[in-house]
Amino acid sequence: MARQKKRFIAGAVCPKCEAMDTLMLFIENDIEQVECVQCKHRFSEPKEQGGGSERQFDQVIGVFKPD
C-alpha cells in the first residue's frame, strides 16, 4: 500500500478552533478530506463546490513530482 500524502494548507484557518496553519489536506476513499491537527475537526468539500484548481482561467506552468 502506498504512503498517503498529507499537505498543509498555508494561511488556512480552522472553522472550529480558529487556529491558523493547522489544516492538512489528504485523500481518503477518493474524497478530499481536511483535518485540523490541533482540534482534530474534520470536513470535506462537496464535489459541486469545486476547488481552486478548477477555476476557468488557471494555467499550469509545471508540476513538481518528487521521487
Q: What 3-state class would DSSP assign to 23?
A: strand
In the chain, where the domains are located: 1-28
CA-CA-CA-CA torsion sign (33, 26, 48, 17): positive
pLDDT one-digit tens code per residue, 5-35: 889 989 999 999 999 999 999 998 888 999 9
C-alpha cell at 9: 494548507
**Inter-residue contact 58 to 34 (CB < 8 Å):** no
pLDDT tens, 39-55?
999 998 655 545 555 55
Q: Residue 35 forms beta bridges with which residues?
A: 24, 42
pLDDT at 39: 97
Q: How many residues does the chain have?
A: 67
Give the Cβ contact number of residue 48 at 10 Å: 5
